[in-house]
A and B are shown apart, each in its own frame.
Chain A
Amino acid sequence: MTQILEPGNVVASGTATTKEDAIREAGALLVAAGAVTSAYIDSMFDREASVSTYMGNFLAIPHGTNEAKESIIRSSLSLVRYPDPIDWDGKPVRFAVGIAGLNNEHLEILSKIAVVFADTDEVQKLIDATTAEDIFTLLEEVNAE
């Protein structure tokens, strides 16, 4: 069974500097992982246009609309960290978690990510982590608890 969040989908230092590019970057990782078709990225923009996916605590979770579920091949997450905060509708974002979810398979890991990000100490650890592996491990640790 493949993991929903694979180590290869975690990027420690994203290149995007705008919200739009960050959405594309998150979407491209999902496309590269074979989780969604490129049409899904368009729906991520649709979803963003309706309500911002900024979650709080430097986290945004760009994802598609309810109608775009056909363009999802399998459930998958991507996580990109940015060295400088990205202006996300006026809010600072350091982490963009791209989501493609089918049949709620992604909810387990997503809820773990949520619990991590709800804790500002944990967020600081993620910001301080040096490599993508470290970030992944931090999330895994919580997963193990």
Chain B
Amino acid sequence: MPNIAAFIAWGLITAFFIPTGWTPNETVAKMVGPMIVYLLPLLIANTGGRMVYGIRGGVIATIATMGVIVGSEIPMFIGAMLVGPLSAYLLKKLDSLWAGKVKPGFEMLIDNFSSGILGAILALGAFFGIAPVVSGFSSILESGVNWLVSNNLLPLASILVEPGKILFLNNAINHGVFTPIGVQQVAESGKSLLFLIEANPGPGLGILLAYSFFGLGLARASAPGAIIIHFLGGIHEIYFPYVLMKPILVLAAIGGGMTGVATNVAFQTGLRAPASPGSIFAVLIQTASDSYVGVILSVILSATVSFLIAAVILRASRKRDLANGLGDDLTGAVAKTEALKGKSSSVLGGLTGAGAAAADNREIKNIVFACDAGMGSSAMGASVLRNKIKKAGLEGITVVNQAIANLDGTADLVITHQDLTARAQEKSPNSIFVSVDNFMNSPKYDEVVAMLQSKATEEASR
């Protein structure tokens, strides 16, 4: 989800500077293409790889994704999402072949060359193997939509259009399929509803609204901003990641899209020209003079329908997401719930323990207690935990305390007061986090010790 920032940056630049934007500027608009073709897919690949295999996974995912990007002509988001995690996984397997057998001093050399060579091979493989498949998929989608249009099954087109959009084929669909036929219809009847099938901002608006109310963590916090960029700015891409996070939400997009199309069919309304970008303003400007009621209704109704469907989906999966750690503020949320209950619940406690352990299979050798000044609370917490670790007979684990400002990102596990977790996470994004509200006898310490113990036995049995 941190990648959303890059989407926002790209969305802003696009909304302002493309030829149909608010303040067109050809020179600056040159950034738009490379950003969507390279920057965004590479970021997605990097994040995907990192989730699988840390920073090394992120690097190799980025290398391999270059192959898909260059190998095709459309923005390679699906490619990035497939190739990124896959490459990281392959590297992980490769590394495990000689893990522990490398002579001290040669680790760096071996690491760099193994992932360098594998990265080069994977990039080539992706170039020849994956890119054509993804390109082919997108052209199948195009011809499918084409067929529906020519057979007057328009509302059904949403079933293909919305998933296609989410996979960043929106421009290919809109400009490749709808615009040519739409322009023809305008020549005949002065308007066409085809321009609205893809460009209707309603379905995306509904999904983002649902996230604003029922989402979790960062997704929820960032959704209102995304609404502005999407609905007013017309940059639909901004909402795609929200759907990709939870692919079943595509049902909401389809439902909303079908509603919008059906409304326009019923009212026989349409636009005079393509609305680009798909902002509510652009849509209204292009609305045919006899079509305002139908077009406006189609936006409102499609937003309502997609909101309702998305709300149901988000509500239903909320609990499970918390358990899976998909909420960015999982630890915070759990800590808060415990505080509200006034005591720690073993169910919730187990949840963070399991979540933290499952989130990361790496070794935990380096534990840092962080607080504001690194002078008091963290020092005491570190002593207590160190004492417990010692008593548990665990060896080779260091527990130190630091000011949050001095965190350098190398800690495996960071323990902070719950109010400071967010700040600490910024400084050390790759660490596992544990939040406590009581430094002296937090049940979390015993969980951490238990987790370390299980890791130690796991290692010993290997």
A: residues with CB less than 8 A from B are 47, 50-51, 53-57, 59, 61, 63-66, 99, 101, 106-107, 110-115, 117-118, 120
**Contact (Cβ within 8 A) B383 A115:** yes
Task: Find chain B residues with CB under 8 A from A107 CB.
Answer: 379, 401
Contact A66 B373 (CB under 8 A): yes
Considering only residues 388-420 of chain B, those with a C-beta below 8 Å from chain A are 401, 403, 405, 417, 419-420
Q: Are B440 and A64 in contact (CB under 8 A)?
A: no
* B384 x A114 contact (CB < 8 A): yes
**A55 and B380 form a contact (CB under 8 A):** yes
A55 touches B372 (CB 8 A): no
Interchain CA distance A29-B165 in the complex, whole Å: 67
- Known contacts A50-B372, A106-B375, A118-B387, then 7 further A-B pairs from the complex at CB < 8 Å, ordered by chain A residue: A53-B377, A63-B376, A65-B372, A101-B375, A110-B376, A111-B383, A114-B439
Q: Is the CB–CB distance between B380 and A61 below 8 Å?
A: yes
Task: Please name 16 pairs of A and B residues whose Cβ atoms are closer than 8 Å in the assembled complex, sorted by A.
Answer: A50-B372, A51-B417, A53-B377, A55-B440, A57-B438, A61-B377, A65-B373, A66-B373, A66-B405, A99-B376, A107-B401, A114-B379, A115-B384, A117-B380, A118-B384, A118-B440
Query: In the complex, are the beta carbons of B380 and A111 less than 8 A apart?
Result: yes
In the complex, what residues of B have CB within 8 A of residue A53's CB?
376-377
Taking CB atoms, residues of chain B closer than 8 Å to A50 are: 372
Does A63 contact B373, Cβ atoms closer than 8 Å? yes
Q: List, in ascending order, chain A residues with CB within 8 A of B374's CB.
A: 66
Residues of A within 8 A of B386 (CB): 111
Chain B residues within 8 Å of A113, by CB:
380
Cβ of B442 within 8 Å of any chain A Cβ, yes or no, is yes
Nearest A residue to B406, CB-CB: A66
Contact B438 A111 (CB under 8 A): no
Contact present for B440 and A99 (CB under 8 Å) = no
Q: A113 CA to B382 CA in the complex, in Å?
A: 12
Rounded to whole Å, the gap between the CB of A46 and the closest CB of chain B is: 10
Q: Which residues does B use to contact A, with CB under 8 Å?
A: 371-377, 379-384, 386-387, 401, 403, 405, 417, 419-420, 438-442
- Within the complex, what minimum Cβ distance (angstroms) separates B269 from chain A? 57
A residues in contact with B387, CB < 8 Å: 115, 118
On chain B, the residues within 8 Å of A110 by CB distance are 376, 379-380, 383
How close is A91's CB to chain B, nearest CB, in angstroms? 9
| Cβ contact of B380, chosen from A47, A65, A114, cutoff 8 A | A114
With the chains together, A54 CA to B442 CA distance in Å? Answer: 13
Nearest-CB distance from B370 to chain A (Å)?
12
Q: Which residues of B contact A120 (CB under 8 A)?
A: 441
Check B440–A66 contact: CB distance below 8 A.
Answer: no
- Interface-central residue, A66, A114, A120, by most chain B CB under 10 Å: A114
B373 and A118 form a contact (CB under 8 A): no
A107 to B382 CA separation, bound complex (whole angstroms): 10
Distance, CA A55 to CA B438, complexed state (A): 5
Complex CA–CA separation, A117 to B384 (angstroms):
9
Contacts A55-B380, A66-B403, A66-B405 hold; do A114 and B373 have CB atoms under 8 A apart? no
The contact of B376 among A101, A112, A115, by CB within 8 Å, is A101
Min CB distance A77 to B, Å, is 10
Closest-CB distance, B198 to chain A (whole angstroms): 49
Residues from chain A with a CB closer than 8 A to the CB of B380 are 55, 61, 110-111, 113-114, 117
Whether the Cβ atoms of B372 and A99 lie closer than 8 Å is no
Report whether B383 and A56 are in contact in the complex, using a CB–CB cutoff of 8 Å.
no
Cα distance, A117 to B441, chains bound together (Å): 9
Q: Which residue of B lies closest to A50 (CB)?
A: B372
Q: Which residues of B contact A54 (CB under 8 A)?
A: 438
Q: Which residues of B contact A63 (CB under 8 A)?
A: 373, 375-376
Chain A residues with CB below 8 A from B439, complex form: 55-56, 114
Residues in B with CB closer than 8 Å to A115 are 383-384, 387
A56-B376 contact in complex given A51-B417, A66-B403, A111-B382, C-beta closer than 8 Å: no
Q: How many Å from the CB of A125 to the closest CB on chain B?
A: 15
Query: Are B440 and A59 in contact, with the CB atoms below 8 A?
Result: yes
Min CB distance, A95 to chain B, in Å? 11
A67, closest chain B residue (CB): B373
Separation of A53 and B377 alpha carbons in the complex (Å): 7
A117 to B387, CA, bound (A): 12
Whole-angstrom distance from the CB of A43 to the nearest CB of chain B? 9
Closest 3 CB pairs of A and B: A111-B383, A56-B440, A56-B438
B339 smallest CB distance to A (angstroms): 11
A114 to B376, CA, bound (A): 10
Residues of A within 8 A of B440 (CB): 55-57, 59, 114, 117-118
CA distance A53 to B438 in the complex (A): 10
A99 touches B417 (CB 8 A): no
Q: Distance in Å from the Cβ of B442 to the closest Cβ of chain A?
A: 7
Q: Nearest Cβ in chain A — how far from B389, in angstroms?
A: 12
